[in-house]
Amino acid sequence: MEETIKIFTGHGHWSPLIWVAAALGTFSVALLLWLLGRREHKRGTDQEIPFLSGERMEEPRVSALHLYWGFAEALKPILTRLKTWHSGVVNDYAGWFLLILAVVFLLVIV
Amino acid sequence: MRRVAEVAATFALAFLVYLILTAFSGEVGLWSWEELIGGAALSFLVALASSRLLWERGGWRLLNPVRFATFLVYLVGPFLLAMAKANLDVAYRVITGRINPGIVRFNPGLKTDAGRTLLANSITLTPGTLTLEVDDATGDFYVHWINVSNVDPKPEDVCGSFPKWARVVAE
Amino acid sequence: MSVHAPILVIAIPLLGGFAVPILARIHRTVRDLWVVLIACVVAAGVGYVAAQVFSQGIWVYVLGAKTPQETRVSAGFPIRIMLTVDAMSAFMGLIAGILALAAFPFAVRFIPEEEGKTLALALGLLLLAGIAGMAYTGDLFNFFVFLEVTSIAACGLIGFRTWTSRAPEAAFKTMLLYSVSGLLFLLGIAFLYGEYGALNLAYISAQLRGSMVDRIALALFLSGLLMKVAAAPVHFWAPDAYGEAPAAKTLLLVVNTQVSLYGLWRILFTLYGGKLDAGVGWLVISMGLLTMAVAALMAIGQTDLGRLVAYGAVSQIGYMLLGVGVGLVSLTSRADYGLVAMKGGIFHMLNDALTVGLLFLCVGAVEWVKGTRDLRELGGLGHQLPAVALCFLLASLALAGIPPLNGFASKIMIYEGSFRLSPILTALAVLASILLLAVFARAFQGVFLGPRTEITGRIHWVFLFSMGVLAVGIMVLGLVPGFFVEQVVAPAAEALWRGRALYLAAILGG
Amino acid sequence: MIGNLPFVVCMILVALGLWTLVVKRNLVKLVIGVGLIESGVNLFLVALGYVQGGIPPIYTYAPADAPMVLPTPQALTLTSIVIGVATTALMLAFAVVIYRHKGTLDARKIRELRG
Amino acid sequence: MIVELSLAVAAAVLLGYVFVCSLRLAIGPTPADRAVALDTINTLVVAIMVLLGAALDLMIIMDVALVYALLSFVGTLYVARYLEEGLK
Amino acid sequence: MTIWAAMLTATLVMVVLTSVLAVVLRDLLAAALTLGAQGLLLALAFYLLQAPDVAIAQAGVGAALTTAIFLLAIWKTRRKEEE
Amino acid sequence: MTILMYVFLGIGALFNGLGAVALHRFPDVYTRLHGATKCTTFGSIFSILAVVVYGAARGGPLGMSMVIRALLALVFLLLTNPTGSHALARAAHRAGIKPFRAVVDRLEEVGK
Amino acid sequence: MTVVVRTIARVLLPLSLVFGGYVVMHGHLTPGGGFQGGAVAASGLAMVVVAFGADRLAKKKGLLSVLESLGGVAFAALGFLGLGLTFFANVLAKTGGLFGNPVPYGPNPGDLNTAGTLPLMNWAVGFKVLAGLGAVVLLFALFGGEHDR
Amino acid sequence: MNRWLAIAAFCLAGGFLIFGATTLRPFGEPKRTEMDDYFNRFSQPEVAANNAVTAIVFDYRGYDTLGEATVLFTAVTGVALVLRRLKK
C-alpha cells in the first residue's frame, strides 16, 4: 500500500495522502468562514452589490480581463516584446525555424 | 443498343492500344494468355468508363477501315511532304526574319468534329499557318498566317488540298 | 491473433478511417457507432500491448516476414520494416488510447451534422492511426511516413471550421511549418541512409560513430522535431492550431505533439544515445525553460479561452523538455538524478495529456452552450454547468501543479531532478507554474463565476462521460501516483535512459 | 567524375526553398518554396542510390551482368513524392479558402492570429 | 557501340536546345511566351527520353517518355485554359 | 567527363535555374509554369539517374497534376504577387 | 541502316535546333508558336524515327518493343502537339495579346 | 475549349486510361506501379475537367470518394490477408495459383502471372490514386462555382 | 524578426547543408549496400517480381506504402473538408 501511493523522488518521497488531508483541512476552514459570513448575508439588500474602495461599481462583477492589471503592467516591456515575436506572419515563423536550424547546426557540429 | 455499340467500339480501340503496347510478350501470336485476359478486362473497364464521352458527338465513320487506310496514306504522303515544306519555310523565316503575319478567316465547309479536328491539326503543322479558333456553329476557321498574301483567302490558298483529304477521311 | 496486436492497433483505425465515408452512406448512426467502436478497440489494443510489454519486455513484430519474430534474414541485418514496442512506445500508445476513448465519443456529439462531419471523423481515426504508428515503429522512414500522416490529418482537422477566417489561416501556417519540419527530418534520414545504407533504427544506432554525417543528420532531426513539438522559438503554430481546431479534436493534436516528443526522445536516446555531448541536452533544457516562460507569459494577455488554454498546453511541453533534457545531460555524466527527472518528464506527458485534454473538452462544452469563447462575453456559467466548472477547476489546478493532483506528482520529480543539476532551472520552472496558476484562476473566474447568464445549448451526457474519463484519470493519478510511477513510468524512463542496449539486442540479437 | 555535384545541387534546392519561405510574402509562393525543398530532398534520395554505370533495378529485358542502382531510395522517393503532392494540394486548398475570406494572399495581411 | 554513342550525343544536343528554350522561359515577356517555351521543352524532353532509352539499350525506361508525351498535354491545356479565362 | 555526366550536370544546372526562376518571378502564373518546367527537368534527372519508376511518378505528378492544381488555385485566387 | 539512322538523327537535331532558335528570333507569341510547334514536332519525329530504325536493326523482342514504344510516343506527340499549340494560340488571343504587325485580324473583328 | 481540343481529349481519355492501366498492371515487370498508373489515369480525368468543364464531372464526386475508400480498404485488406504469417506477408507468391508463378533469377522478359499479392495491391493503390488525385483536381475546379461568398 | 539575423541564419544553415553534402561519400559510390544488394538479389526468388522497386514498395516495405496511401487519403479528405460546401 505504501508503495502504491508514494513517489520516491531523488531526495525523499512525496505522498498525496498528506496533501489530501491538508486540502480537506483548508477546505473545511474555508467552508467554516463562508458559513460564518452566510449567517449575516441577506438576499435582496445592498449586500449583493459589489462595493470596492468606496465606489459603487457599474458592472456587477470584476471582469476577467481586469485581474492582474498591475501585474501585466509591470511585465509590459517583456510582454510587448513577446507580442511582437508572435507577429502572425508566417515568414517570421519560418525565419525563427531557420534560426533554430542554424543554432542547432552550430551546436552539434562545431 | 447504341450504348452497347459504344462500349464495344471503345473496347476494341482500347484493346488494340493495349495489344500494341504489350506486343512480343508471349507465344499466343505475339502475346501471352495473361496479357490477353488482363488486357481484355482492363479494356472493358476503360470502355465502361469512357465510351459515353468518346462517342458523344458521333464519329462512327472513322471505324471504317477504308477511311483508316486513307488516313495513313494521307499521313505519310501529302502531310509529311507539307510538313517538310513547312519546316523549310520556317527555317527560311528564322534566318531572314521576313514575316508578314495576320489572322485570316476561311470556311472549308467541314461539318463533323473529327474532320474539323483533323484539318485544324494539319493546318497547325503545315506551312506558315496556325489554327487559332474554330467556330462551332459556322465551321469558320480563324488562322494565323505568317505570310499573308490575300486578306480574304480561299481554303486552297491557306492549306492546299487538306480540306479535301479531311473530307475523304472523316466525313 | 494476439501475436499481431501491435500491428492491429495501427491497422484497424486505418481500415476504420478508410471505411468511414462508405459507412456514412449507409447511415450516420452506423458511422458514429463505428467510430466509437474503433476508438474502443484501439484503447483495448494499446492496453493489451502495454500489459504485455511491461511484463515481458520489448515486443518486436516484423512486417511481411514469415514469422513475426524474424528480425534478421540470413545475411544478418534487418531488411524489413519492424515494429519495436518497448516500454516507452507502449506508454505513448497508452496515452493515445486513453485520449481516443475520451475524444471520439465527444467528437461524435460535438461536431455539427453536415458534410464535413464524416470527413472530420475519418481524419480523426487516421490521426489516431498515425499516432499509434509513430509510437510503435522501429524504422526511421516509417516514422517519417506516419509523421506526415499525423501532420496532414491534424492540419485537415485544424482547418475544419472553414466558415471562419481564422481556422484556415491557422491550418495553413501549421501545415507549412509541419511540412518543412517533416522534410528536414526526411533529409536527415537520407543522410543516414547514404552513410549506412540502412533504415532500421536499431541497426543504424549500432553503426553510429559520431562522424560528421551523423552530426548533420542529428541537427536535421533535432530541428525538425523541435518544430513539431512546439518548443519555444518555433512554437508559434501551436496556439493557433490548438485554439482553432474543434475542441474534441484538439485532444488528438495534443497527443500528436507528444508523440513527436516521443520521437525526439527516441532519436536522442535510442538512436544517438551515449554518443552525444552535453550541448544537446542543454539545448533541450534551455528550449524547455524558454517554452514554459514564453507560453505562460503569453497566456496572461489572452482574451480567447481556447487560445489561453492552448498557451497553457504549450507551456507544459516545456516541463517535459526540461525533465528529459536533464536526463539527457546526466546521461553523459552518468549521474542518477537524471533518471528521476526523466521519470518526471515522462510521467508529465501522461498528466499533461489528461489535464490539457480535459481543459479542451471544457472549452468545447463552454463553446457548445454559449457559442463563443471570448472571455469578455463569457461569465456565470458555474450556475448552469457545475460539472464542467468542477472539471475545469480540477484540470487547471492539476495543470498548475497544485499538490494533491497529478500535475504536482510529475512536476515534483522534474523539480528534484533539475535541482540537482542547477537550482536556477527549478526556480524558473516553479515561477512558470505559479504564473500558470494565476492565468487559470483568472480564466476560471472569467468563465464560471459571476452572475447567471443565458445559455443557448444543453450539455449532452456524452460530453460528461468524456470529461469524466479524463477527470477520473487525473484524480486517480493524483491519489496513487506511486503505483503508476513504479509500474508504468519507471520502465518507460529506463527504456530510454539505459535501455538502448536492450533495444538493439532485441533486433540485432545478442 | 563530377564529384558531389548532385548532392550539392540538392542542398542548393533545399536552401532555396528555405529562403523562399523566409522572404516571399505570397502564400502560393510559400507553397512553391515547400515544393522546392521537396524536390531537393527527392533528388537527394535518388542521387544517393545511384551506382556508377548502373542500370535500373528491373530484370525485364535487362542487359546481363550490369550493376544495378540501389532500389531502396527509389522506393522511398516514390513515397516522398506522394506525400509532397498531398501536402501541396492541402496547402493550396487552405490558401484558396483564406483568399475567399480575406481577399488577399499577402502573408503580412493574414495575421488575425497573433499575440 | 558507336551507334549508341551517337544516339546519346543527339540527346545531349537536344538537351542543349532545352537550355536555349529555358532562356525564353526566363525572359518571356508574357506568360504565353513562357507557355510556348514550356511546350517546346516538353516535346524536346520526350525526344531526349526516347533517344536515351535507345542509347542505354533499355527498352523499359522508354515508358517514361510515353507517359510524358501523354501528360505534358494536360499541363499545356491547363495553362491555355487559365490564360483564356483567368484574365477576364 | 563522359557524355552521361555532362547531361546530368546540365540537367541539374537547369533544375536549379528553373527553381530560381520559380522563386523570383512575381507573376504567379509564370512561377507555376517554371515550376512545371522544373518538375519536368527533375523527371529527366531521375531518368538519367536510372530511376524510371520515380521518373514516371514525377512526370505524372509534376507535369500534369501539380501544374493543374497550382493553376486552379491561382485561378481561384489572384495572379499577381502583391508588393 | 546505320546511315539512315544518322541521317534521321541529323535532321532531327537540325530542326529541333531551328525550333529552339525560332523561339528567340520571332517577335511575338504566334510566330514563336509557328516555329516551335512545327520544327520541334518535325525534329522529334525524325529523332524518334532514328530510334525506330535503331530498334528495327537491333531486332528481337527488345528491339521491336523499342520500335513500338517509339512509334507510340510519336503518335502521342502528333496528337497532342498541334492541339496544345492551338489551345495556347487561342488562349493568347483571348487573353488580349495582339499579333505583331498584323496586316489583318479577322478574329478581332468578329469580337471573340 | 474548342472542338479541336475536345475531340482530341475524347480520344486521349481512353488512351490515358489504358496506358495508366498498363502501367498499373505491369508494375512488377516494368517501371511503374499503382501510384504511377493512377497518376496517369488521374491526369486523364484532369484533362476531361479542363476540356469539358468541371460541372460535367460534378456528379461523379461521390463515386470518386467511394472508389477511393474502396481502394484504401482493399489495400489494407490485402495487408490483412497475410495475417496467417504476418501483416503484409506475400502469401500468394510462388504458390502456383493466381499470381503464383515463380520467376527464374536474372534478366528475363517477364510474366504477368507472378509476384503474389503485388498486382492486386497495385490495382488497389491504382484505383485509390486515380480516385484521390482526380477528386482533388475536381474539388479545386468546382470550388467557388456553386457557392457564393 | 530582424532581417539581418534571418540572412545570417540562412547563410549559416545553407552553408552547413552544402558542407554536409560535400562530406558525404562520393556520388555514385555507395559505401554500404548490404540491404540494397539483398533486395536486388532476392526480389526475384522471394517475391517473384522483376521490378525490385515495386518489390520493395509493396512487399519489403509494404507497410510504408500503406502509410503513403493513408497520406493520400488523408490529403484528399482534408481537401474535401476544406473545400466543402457549407450549409447556409
The residues spanned by each domain of chain A are 65-110
C-alpha C350/C-alpha C347 separation (Å) is: 5
pLDDT band at F83 (very low <50, low <70, confident <90, very high): low
C-alpha C202/C-alpha B49 separation (Å) is: 48
CB F74 within 8 A of CB E82: yes
Q: Which of C337, C427, C325 is nearest to A8 (CA)?
A: C337
**Residues B50/B53/B58/B63 CA torsion (nearest 10 deg):** -20
Residue C347 lies in a domain: yes
Question: Are C156 and D90 an interchain contact pair (Cβ–Cβ within 8 Å)?
Answer: yes
Please report, for the domain that includes residue G91, its CATH number: 1.10.287
Q: Which of G21, G76, G86 to mutate to test the interface with B (most CBs of B within 10 A)?
A: G86
Q: Which domain holds residue E10?
A: 2-85
CB H25 within 8 A of CB H122: yes
Alpha carbon C5 to chain centroid, angstroms = 21
CB C45 within 8 A of CB C83: no
Residue C84 lies in a domain: no
- Structural domains in chain C (count): 1
H32 contacts on I by Cβ (under 8 Å): 54
Distances (CA, A) of B50 to C482, H10, H17, H47: 67, 8, 9, 13
pLDDT tens-digit map of C440-482: 888 888 888 877 777 777 788 888 888 888 888 888 888 888 8
On whether any CB of chain I is under 8 Å from the CB of F83, the answer is no
C-alpha H86/C-alpha I64 separation (Å) is: 15
Q: How many CA atoms lie within 13 A of C401 on its CB side?
A: 22
Q: Which of D27, D110, D111 to mutate to test the interface with A (most CBs of A within 10 A)?
A: D111
C-alpha C34/C-alpha C36 separation (Å) is: 5
Q: What are phi and psi of B100, to 5 degrees?
A: -145, 70
The neighbour count for residue D7, using CB atoms within 10 Å, is 26
Q: How many CA atoms lie within 13 A of C132 on its CB side?
A: 31
Residues recorded for chain E? 88
Distance from the Cα of E59 to chain D's closest Cα (Å) equals 7
Please report the number of interchain residue pairs, chain C to chain H, with beta-carbon separation below 8 angstroms: 53
Q: Pairing between strand C59-62 and C82-85?
A: antiparallel
Question: Are D72 and C193 an interchain contact pair (Cβ–Cβ within 8 Å)?
Answer: yes
pLDDT of amino acid H146? 53
Q: Which of H18, H43, H108 to mutate to test the interface with E (most CBs of E within 10 A)?
A: H43
Per-residue pLDDT for A108 more than 70?
Answer: yes
Q: Which domain holds residue G36?
A: 2-95
H47 contacts on E by Cβ (under 8 Å): 73-74, 77
Question: Are D58 and E60 an interchain contact pair (Cβ–Cβ within 8 Å)?
Answer: yes
Helix (H), strand (E) at residue H12: helix H3-25
C-alpha C186/C-alpha C189 separation (Å) is: 5
Distance from the Cα of B97 to chain H's closest Cα (Å) equals 30
C227 contacts on A by Cβ (under 8 Å): 97, 100
pLDDT of amino acid I87? 63
Distances (CA, A) of C203 to C59, C194, D74, D77: 16, 14, 21, 21
Q: Which domain holds residue F46?
A: 3-76
Residue G35 lies in a domain: yes
Q: Which of H15, E35, B155, B164 is nearest to G86 (CA)?
A: E35
Distance from the Cα of A94 to chain D's closest Cα (Å) equals 6
On whether any CB of chain D is under 8 Å from the CB of G60, the answer is no
pLDDT of amino acid E88? 42
Per-residue pLDDT for A28 more than 90?
Answer: yes
C-alpha C115/C-alpha C113 separation (Å) is: 7
Q: Which of C197, D63, C207 is nearest to I29 (CA)?
A: C197
Residues of chain C predicted below pLDDT 70: 1, 72-75, 334, 510
pLDDT of amino acid B29? 67
Question: Which residues, listed in sequence order, are joined to residue B144 by a DSSP beta bridge?
Answer: B103, B130
C-alpha B90/C-alpha D98 separation (Å) is: 48
Task: Look up residue I87 and give its DSSP letter.
Answer: P
- Structural domains in chain G (count): 1
- Rounded to the nearest 10 degrees, what angle do helices C247-265 and C212-228 cross at? 160
The beta-strand segments (E) located in chain A are 7-8, 13-14, 51-52, 55-56
pLDDT of amino acid A50? 62
On whether any CB of chain F is under 8 Å from the CB of D37, the answer is no
Q: Which domain holds residue B43?
A: 2-54
On whether any CB of chain G is under 8 Å from the CB of D61, the answer is yes
C-alpha C483/C-alpha B134 separation (Å) is: 82
Q: Which of I27, D56, C299 is nearest to A83 (CA)?
A: C299
Contacts of E27 (CB under 8 A, 6+ apart): none
**Residues C415/C416/C421/C423 CA torsion (nearest 10 deg):** 60
Closest residue in D to I1 (Cα–Cα): D22
The neighbour count for residue C461, using CB atoms within 10 Å, is 9
- Structural domains in chain B (count): 2
Choose the closest CB to A105 out of C219, C378, C438: C219
Q: What are phi and psi of B134, to 5 degrees?
A: -120, 120
Closest residue in E to G93 (Cα–Cα): E84
C-alpha D56/C-alpha C138 separation (Å) is: 29
pLDDT tens-digit map of C168-205: 888 898 999 999 999 999 999 988 888 888 888 888 88
pLDDT tens-digit map of F14-65: 899 889 988 888 888 888 888 888 988 888 888 888 888 888 888 888 878 8
Q: Which of H139, H121, H141, H119 is nearest to H131 (CA)?
A: H139
Pick left, alpha or beta for residue C405 (phi over 0 → left; psi -120 to 50 → alpha; otherwise beta): beta
Question: Are E60 and D56 an interchain contact pair (Cβ–Cβ within 8 Å)?
Answer: yes
Mean pLDDT of B39-67: 79
Q: Please give the angle made by the CA atoms of I8, I14 and I16, to the nearest 5 degrees.
A: 105
C-alpha I18/C-alpha I41 separation (Å) is: 34
Question: Do the chains B and H touch each other, judged by at least 3 C-beta pairs below 8 angstroms?
Answer: yes
- Rounded to the nearest 10 degrees, what angle do helices C5-26 and I62-82 cross at? 30
SS3 state at H104: coil
C-alpha C467/C-alpha C357 separation (Å) is: 9
Please report the number of interchain residue pairs, chain A to chain C, with beta-carbon separation below 8 angstroms: 160
On whether any CB of chain H is under 8 Å from the CB of B137, the answer is no
Q: Which of G11, G16, G29, G30 to mutate to test the interface with B (most CBs of B within 10 A)?
A: G30
Q: Is C76 exposed, middle or buried (0-12, 13-18, 19+ CB in 10 A)?
A: exposed
C-alpha D115/C-alpha D107 separation (Å) is: 16
pLDDT band at H148 (very low <50, low <70, confident <90, very high): very low
Burial pattern B72-100, b for ≥16 Cβ within 10 A else e, equals: eebeeebbeebbeebbebbbebbeeeebe
Choose the closest CB to D61 out of H107, H133, H136: H107
Q: How many CA atoms lie within 13 A of C57 on its CB side?
A: 9
Instruction: Indicate if B95 and B153 belong to the same structural domain.
Output: yes
pLDDT of amino acid H147? 43
Question: Are C172 and D98 an interchain contact pair (Cβ–Cβ within 8 Å)?
Answer: yes
Q: Please give the angle made by the CA atoms of C313, C314 and C318, to the nearest 5 degrees.
A: 115
pLDDT of amino acid A57? 61
pLDDT band at A54 (very low <50, low <70, confident <90, very high): low
- C-alpha cell of residue C297: 507569459
Residue F81 lies in a domain: no
On whether any CB of chain I is under 8 Å from the CB of C198, the answer is yes
SS3 state at H141: helix
Distance from the Cα of G10 to chain H's closest Cα (Å) equals 30
Question: Which is more confident, F66 or C449?
Answer: F66
- C-alpha cell of residue C266: 527516441
Question: Which residues, listed in sequence order, are joined to residue B106 by a DSSP beta bridge?
Answer: B141
Residue G108 lies in a domain: no
Question: Are A102 and I6 an interchain contact pair (Cβ–Cβ within 8 Å)?
Answer: no
CA quadruple C49, C52, C56, C62: dihedral sign: negative
CA Rg value for chain D: 19
Q: Which domains does chain D have, with CATH numbers?
A: 2-102 (1.10.287.3510)
Closest residue in A to C485 (Cα–Cα): A7
Instruction: Indicate if B15 and B77 belong to the same structural domain.
Output: no
C-alpha C475/C-alpha C144 separation (Å) is: 36
Residue C174 lies in a domain: no
Closest residue in H to E72 (Cα–Cα): H43
Going residue by residue through chain G, which has 112 residues, state the pLDDT in tens, using 9 for 90 and above.
788 888 888 888 888 888 888 888 877 888 888 878 888 888 888 888 888 888 888 777 778 888 888 888 888 888 888 888 888 888 888 877 777 776 666 666 665 4
F72 contacts on H by Cβ (under 8 Å): 137, 140-141
Distances (CA, A) of E67 to G88, H36, H43: 21, 9, 10
- C-alpha cell of residue A81: 516584446
pLDDT of amino acid H149? 35
Contacts of C82 (CB under 8 A, 6+ apart): C60, C61, C62, C63, C71, C138, C139, C200, C507
Taking only residues 40 to 69 of chain I, the set having a beta carbon closer than 8 angstroms to any beta carbon of chain F reads: 51, 53-54
- Structural domains in chain H (count): 1
Distance from the Cα of H3 to chain I's closest Cα (Å) equals 31
Question: Which is more confident, D108 or H94?
Answer: D108
pLDDT of amino acid E87? 47
Q: Is G108 exposed, middle or buried (0-12, 13-18, 19+ CB in 10 A)?
A: middle
C-alpha F30/C-alpha F36 separation (Å) is: 10
C-alpha E36/C-alpha G34 separation (Å) is: 10
pLDDT of amino acid F1? 58
